[in-house]
Structure formats: C-alpha cells, structure tokens
Amino acid sequence: MKISFIIPSRNNLKYLKWSYDSIRKNQGDHEVEICVADDASTDGTWDWCEDMIKEDSKFKAIRNDGPDRQGLVILNDRLINEIASHDICMVFHADMYLCPKALDAVESHIKPRTIVSLTRIEPPLHPEGVEKIVEDFGVEPEEFKEDELLRWLVGFNQGEEIPDTEGIFAPWAFYKKEFQEIGGHDKLFAPQSKEDSDIFNRFQLNGTKFVQTWKGFVYHMTSRGSRFNPYSGGAPGQNSKEWIGTTTRNMRNFIRKWGHAVRHDEFMKPIIPPKYDIGFIIKNANLQLIEVLEPWCSSVYCDINVEEYIAKEHTLYDLYDKFFTLDNDIDNKIIIEINGDKFTQQDYQYIQQLSDIFSDSGEIGTFDLGNLYININSLETYQKELIKCKE
C-alpha cells in the first residue's frame, strides 16, 4: 500500500521526532510518504524538516512563516491537496506512535467510500471510553515505555478478537479524491476545533462508511498540538487558554451550521439530526439573550440594536445578514416566538432539542412548548446541503 501521512505540527518537535521514528520503524512493507507542515514553530521544527528533506526522499514539508498560526484546518488541506502524492492519505498527529502492523490493518480495510481509523492507546489524561484503550506507557517521549507497550500489544493480540466498530477519529485513513469531493475541511473552523466533527458529518452524509480496526493501534500522548501544548499555556491534563477559546468559539460555529451541538455514539460515529430553517422572533430582547439564542436559528427578528454583539462575535458567518427588525417580512419555514421577559432555563433546554422535537413529531401546525410559541409551516430539511464546503 502507498500512503501519505499528513502531520501538521506547531512547537511539537520532540513529539514530531518521536512520531517520525515510529512510522519509519513500523511501516512494514508499505510505501510511506511523510508530509509535515510547520505551523510557525519557534522550537527548531523547520531546521529539522530541512535536514529530513535531505536525508529522507519520502519526507516532504511546508512552512507557515507566521507569526500567526494557521492551524489544522488550513495545513491539513494544504498537505493533502498540494503535497501528498499518494491516493490514500492518513491524518496523523505529531504526538502519536505508530504501532507495528498498524498499516497492515489499514490496508485490509481501506476501499472506496470507507475511512479507516486505528485504535488509540492513551495514558489516563482523559475520561475512559469504549472507543479507546487506556494504558499508561508514558506521557512524554523521554519517558516512553516502548518495550512495555510492545509486550502489551503481543498479549492483547493473542486475546479474544474484538470485532471492528464504526468509530472515526485520528488517525484516519481515506482516499484523497473523496476528501476533495466534499471540499476538505471547512475554513469556518480555522485554526482548529470541531473541524473534525464537521468533516465527519459531511463524509457520512456523502455515503462514506467508517471502520475502526482493533487490529491496528497508535499510542497517543494526546492533545499536544494546542490543548495541552506548553507553548500555548497548557500542560499534560491542563487545557490552554488558547484551546478553551477556540473550542468555545467553534462549538458556536458548529451549532450555527448544523443546528445542534456535536453528537456521536459511544464509538464516536456521528449522529446527525435534521437541519431546519428556523426563525426566532424575540420580543423584550437583551444582548445576553441574543448571545444565548443566536447560534440556534437561521434568522433573528428582534427589537434591539445588535451591533455590539456582532462586533465581539468572531465568526466567518455574516451575522448582519442574520438579524432583522420585528417589522421585517418573515419567510422561515419554522417560526418561534420568544418573550425575553419570560424566557427560562427550561425554554433553553427546549431550544437545544428542537431538531429532535420536530423530527419526532413530524407535524405541521402551531403549538406552545413552555414559553415558546411555535409555528411550523414546513419540515423541509437542509443537512445534505452542508456536504460540500462553500467559500
């Protein structure tokens, strides 16, 4: 199998070296091209990349000169579209160790309209989950217990066979042309956070199947690119302020786009409720209420000036096109009237469940839900219109 590894990296040099060594050590008989993007690093990453380009004919690299980072959204796509030469690519993280025979497992499952994820083995820095294995073989390359990991893998592989599941998460292998077919990552989520949930939704809606193999593994030190990166204020198990800011902002963007928060089953397979055209008519509004409600609808009709809110809400969405005065014509398929003086926490719970409420009822008409007055003119859905990225 010929495969291109896609690895953006920012101030992650010690992890990147460790990851590179694992790939070359454990790639087996496969032809592996390693494509790295240096995201304005200040730790010597680009010097190392230049050395590796000379030493390794299957190593390619690009650089963001900075000073601002571009993030996974931009650099993953640049590497895939401009640098990778193989039909099959794998999004890989600089803090991952490729385990022996992992690529054999990818080869046995990869085919058109199928994405293959390797199973992650992680130290106990995150909550446990059925989609991964929690075993501590070190949280830094200098303390990595490689021999213990390899012995553990031998014992695991000799145990009861675990059937494939349908999870999807990094590292994930795919056909480049299918990535390009849906427009790659959405720049709405730059520099990063929720970009993976968005693209996984779009792959699934486009007919892609997901396979998580339990015969191929990576050891993942987890979240060293931004969330736990000391260069951005993090540490193992400690979220950086940078990551908190991006993940909060991009969850709001995800809701704007999809009409619901990120959803998946226990194995991380996306759950995609219907997307509806919803207009909120908000009387007795205030800016705090606008901040709470705006992401959950297509249009807002209200009785206050919202320029202060729009100015502080950093998003690629043109929010000026989303807001209207109360005397504007209303043409949304579903209209919800809200009185700011009566709005409660329970009403907000209903707002977050609107996709499920409408799809479960399947009824056209008007009804009250708590303090919300709802008028459904059409239950036309729009989620499939989101498959391909739009500039």
Tens digits of per-residue pLDDT, 246-257? Answer: 889 999 999 999
pLDDT of residue 347: 97
pLDDT of residue 60: 98
pLDDT of residue 150: 96
What whole-number distance in Å separates Cα of residue 286 and Cα of residue 51? Answer: 57
What is the tens place of the pLDDT at every residue in 275-332? Answer: 999 999 999 999 999 999 999 999 999 999 999 999 999 899 999 999 999 999 999 9
Q: What average pLDDT does the chain have? A: 94
pLDDT of residue 233: 66
Q: Is the pLDDT of residue 130 over 70?
A: yes
Domains and CATH numbers, the chain: 2-258 (3.90.550.10), 278-386 (no CATH)
pLDDT of residue 126: 83
Does the global pTM surpass 0.85?
yes
Q: How many residues does this entry show for the chain?
A: 391
What dihedral do alpha carbons 212, 182, 97, 246 form, nearest 10°?
A: -110
What whole-number distance in Å separates Cα of residue 382 and Cα of residue 189? Answer: 20
Average pLDDT over residues 180-184: 98
* Bond into 230 cis (ω within 30): no
Apex CA 342: angle with CA 339 and CA 348, to 5°? Answer: 85
